[in-house]
Amino acid sequence: MVTAPPPVKTAEVNSEIQETALTPRFYITDFEAAANLDLSARQNDLEVMLNEMRADYNRYHFVRDDQFKQTWEHIDAETRSAFKEFLERSCISEFSGFLLFKELSRHLKERNPLLSEIFHLMARDEARHAGFLNKAMNDFNFSLDLRDLTKSRTYTFFPLSWVIYTVYLSEKIGYWRYIIMFRHLEAHPENKFYPLFNYFESWCQDENRHGDIFKALLRSQPRLWNNWRAKLWIRFFLLSVFATHTMTVHERSGFYHSVGLDPTEYDRQVLEKTNETSGRAFPLILNLQHPQFFRRLHRCSDYNKKLGEIGKSKQPKIIKIFRQFPFFCAIIWNLLRLYLIKPIEVESLRGTVR
């Protein structure tokens, strides 16, 4: 008797992403301003980083090995669902970086060859990450149509200064997210249910290098850090990135539980490490030790969950808006109170051992 082979499941291709306040965005910026940047104050640093990027230390790292040649049907439905959300969000974030860096490289090619090549190589890394994540999604019978997303997604304009602040922070927080999870899973291999986690150590080094490049860009432009307006913006972006991280982690707590992490403690570690690291680029950092800091941040997370629950209900849209409004106001109020917490000045400590 000849046994027919099991039917091969066709991966579901998704080109529509459910938009929420926490969904990664696609960005464009002021390419003219980027072309006119005076990099002389950090020219040598950027040239050293360019040589590092050319070396491409992770060229052969993102190759799927025999660990992936198996079925993943044994993973329970709840864990699969949480992991798929993690993969999708991560892939969109990496692809967003690829598109931004690619456009920066293209627009700067004639006028700022140094930056153009750096952004070209950063786009290479981001594309590699996004492609690797999309292949992982295919193991769970779904994938993203990245080409269609390029055309269908709305692009948000950010001034160049905002791009420098946010990309620096997103790369550094990405580094700490990956390395903390990697170290946890190395200590608790029983929670490593998929081989993607084995790649996080080298993966996070790409994030770290990208962050260092944007730190050099930031420090090459004193107007972005040495005046009161810049300091207000820095506080704003630090708080925005940290609040987004906290709300996202708690919104998707199922994934972190699936790898044996306590979401609240993981979030705290990531924010504390990122805050400390940001003191190497910024003249100030947030006071995370203030007794109100995490208390109010967690309130924002709770209110965000309420928004999500209301949004998923089958009530008329107008009713949802009225029900959500108090929670929006509560989040804004708590973020305002957090913003007013006195930051910690660190510029005078630059160059000292801390």
Predicted pLDDT at 143? 86
Residue 18: pLDDT band (50, 70, 90) is low
Nearest to 296 by CA among 259, 340, 261: 340
What is the pLDDT, as a whole number, of residue 22?
A: 60
pLDDT tens digits along 292-349: 999 999 999 999 999 999 999 999 999 999 999 999 999 999 999 999 999 999 998 7
Residue whose pair of structure tokens reads 């249910």 in the numeric block = 193
Task: State CA 18 to chain mean position distance.
Answer: 18
Q: Percentage of the chain with pLDDT > 90?
A: 83
pLDDT at 9 over 50: no
pLDDT of residue 210: 97
Is the per-residue pLDDT at 350 higher than 80?
no
Q: Which two tokens stand for residue 234?
A: 């820095």
- Per cent of the chain over pLDDT 70 is 92
User: Does residue 21 surpass a pLDDT of 70?
Assistant: no
Structure confidence at residue 7 (pLDDT): 39
Q: Cβ-count burial of 55 within 10 angstroms (0-12 exposed, 13-18 middle, 19+ buried)?
A: exposed
Q: Rounded mean pLDDT of 20-25? A: 66
Positive or negative torsion for Cα 183, 208, 30, 240: positive
- State the pLDDT confidence band at 4, using cuts at 50, 70 and 90: very low
How much is the pLDDT for 67?
92
Amino acid in position 254: G
User: 10: pLDDT confidence band, cut at 50, 70 and 90?
Assistant: very low
- Check residue 229 and give its pLDDT: 98
- pTM of the predicted model over 0.85: yes
At 154 the pLDDT is 84
53 Cβ neighbours under 8 A, 6+ residues apart: 118, 121, 122, 209, 213
Q: What is the mean pLDDT of the chain?
A: 91
Q: Are 111 and 35 within 8 A, CB to CB?
A: yes
- Tokens found for residue 175: 């580094």
Pairwise CA distance, residues 282 & 101, whole Å = 22
Res. 227: pLDDT tops 80: yes
Q: Specify the pLDDT at position 20.
A: 56
What is the C-alpha to C-alpha distance for residues 338 and 239, in angstroms, rounded to an integer? Answer: 8
Which range among 19-33, 116-130, 165-179, 301-315 shows the weakest confidence by mean pLDDT? 19-33
pLDDT tier, 98 (very low <50, low <70, confident <90, very high otherwise): very high
Does the pLDDT value for residue 15 go beyond 50? no
**For residue 32, pLDDT beyond 60:** yes
239 pLDDT exceeds 90? yes
Handedness of CA 80, 86, 88, 94 (dihedral sign): negative
Alpha helix (H) residue ranges in 220-316: 228-251, 253-258, 263-278, 293-312
Report the distance separating Cα 210 and Cα 225, nearest Å. Answer: 19
Q: Which residue has the tokens 């950010």?
A: 158
Quick one: pLDDT at residue 146?
A: 85
Neighbouring residues of 36: CB distance < 8 A, sequence distance ≥ 6: none
Q: Where are the domains of the chain?
A: 25-57+77-158
**pLDDT of 8 above 60:** no
- pLDDT, tens digit, for every residue of 139-188? 998 888 888 888 877 889 999 999 999 999 999 999 999 999 999 999 99
